Amino acid sequence: MDLEQLRYFVRVAEQGSFSKAAVLLDIAQPTLSRSVRALEVELKASLFHRNGRGVLLTDDGRVFLNHARGVLRGADAALKAVGRGEPSYAGRVAAGLPPSLSKLIILPLVNTFLERFPRASLGVVDGLSSALYDQLLSGRLDFAILHNPAASPQLAIEPIVTEPLVLIGNRQVGRRAGSVGLADLEGLPLIMASAPHALRPLIEAAMARAGLPMRVAIEVDSIAAIIDLAAAGTAFSIVSESTIAVVPASLGLHRQRIDAPGLETTLCLAAPARQPRTPLPVEVAQLCVELLRKALGLRRRPARIKV
């Protein structure tokens, strides 16, 4: 087994096709197939289910993929550490951002990245915190900014800021214009992302403690769709303040803070804990944190949670 075999295997797994992977690797497909087959023989396990449309990872293949990515990252880090005494900002960094934060900081992030790291490339994955969390664990991301990530020995988690949750819709709820209580949410038709969305357990637990029923009328795993539906008056939703920071006033979205203890979300920086941290992802992660804090404003206090 060598690093080249591992790189070949990872690329086939990512593309789901030997032919596509061969094009990207600039090698002949039979050569690629022989290399992966030799790896399977050495491991005494089948890594792919092969069919006419491409390949799918077996259970053994999914387990081995995580280890292969870790080995390759470690090898890349070792090569970069030996070459020069100064930090190396070449290579590729993969970052994960929730959709609301992506809209908030993507433009300054990309512009600053291109200016600071001209020899590097950036990949940004836009997704719900639960999906980004899984991609961190599988080694697909160098870091991600998440809402309320669960503690894990596989992740290093650093709190950034806390922010309140907000009820959004096309009209005011209750008697107070700027805020609502939990009692005002009773029976209110809500649009929520399906479990395990990061905010949903907080809201469900708060309503349960207050002895109030929670009515989830619609489940939609798209923040943009949730905002559009809420603005259209289809139902209401509960989101973080940063989620609506970039929503134009012309949409007519009404927003009210929820006055309830503990109904806040903590934004955290998370990165794999057991792989070497090279200078590039560390610097880019810090850049994201700086841009996020600037975009959200200094009025929000730093979070204090145990990780």
Q: Is there a domain that residue 285 lies in?
A: yes
pLDDT digits (tens, 9 = 90+) for 92-122: 899 999 888 888 899 999 999 999 999 899 9
Region 280-301: mean pLDDT is 81
99 within a domain of the structure (yes/no)? yes
- Cα–Cα distance measured from residue 100 to residue 239, given in angstroms and rounded to the nearest whole number: 10
From 128-137, 159-168, 180-189, 291-300, the region with the lowest mean pLDDT = 291-300
Q: pLDDT digits over 199-232, tens only?
A: 888 888 889 988 999 999 999 988 889 999 999 9
Using CA atoms of 213, 217, 218, 224 in order, give the dihedral in degrees to the nearest 10. Answer: -80
Residues in the chain: 307
Both tokens of 243, joined, read 């989620």
DSSP 150-172: PP-TTEEEEEEEEEEEEEEESS-
Phi, psi (degrees; rounded to nearest 5) at 266: -105, 120
Question: What span, in angstroms and rounded, lies between the C-alpha atoms of 61 and 45?
Answer: 8
Q: Which of 149, 147, 101 minimizes the C-alpha distance to 125?
A: 101
Using alpha carbons only, how large is the chain's radius of gyration in Å? 23
Together in a domain, 122 and 243: no
Q: Specify the CATH number for the domain of residue 118.
A: 3.40.190.10
Task: Detail the DSSP E strand segments found in the chain.
Answer: 48-51, 54-57, 91-97, 120-126, 143-147, 155-169, 179-180, 190-192, 216-219, 237-240, 254-258, 264-272
User: What is the domain-level CATH number for residue 174?
Assistant: 3.40.190.290
**pTM beyond 0.85, yes or no:** no
CB 262 within 8 A of CB 202: yes
Q: Give the whole-angstrom CA distance, residue 243 versus residue 147.
A: 11
What's the domain range around 277?
Answer: 91-160+266-296
- Tell me the per-residue pLDDT of 17-47, one tens digit each, with 9 for 90 and over: 999 888 888 888 889 999 999 999 999 999 9
Nearest to 43 by CA among 28, 31, 60, 57: 60
Establish if 9 belongs to a structural domain. yes
Same domain, 166 and 205: yes
Pairing of strands 254-258, 179-180: parallel
Residues 166 and 233 reside in one and the same domain: yes
Shared-domain flag, residues 242 and 289: no
What is the domain count for the chain? 3
